[in-house]
Amino acid sequence: MSLATEGKIDLLLNTNLTKVSGDAILKSVSVIDSKTQEEKTIVADNLIPLFGLSPKLGPIEKWG
């Protein structure tokens, strides 16, 4: 979050990745906003996809 606040990365929340473009290297990604359904293409050098999984395991944590 601090990298996004500092403007070092673009953090996109509530979006779904729809397309990755480029030849041997990444050129752009397309995403759709899950709230507005607006789709946009973003020029990108790197992509770090996160799946929105919660690290809270609940009762599974104690299964051993």
**pLDDT of 15-43, one tens digit each?**
999 999 999 999 999 999 999 999 999 99
The whole-number average pLDDT for the span 42-62 is 81
Which one has a higher pLDDT value, 40 or 53? 40
Mean pLDDT of the chain: 88
C-alpha 32/C-alpha 15 separation (Å) is 5
pLDDT at 54: 67
Which one has a higher pLDDT value, 14 or 54? 14
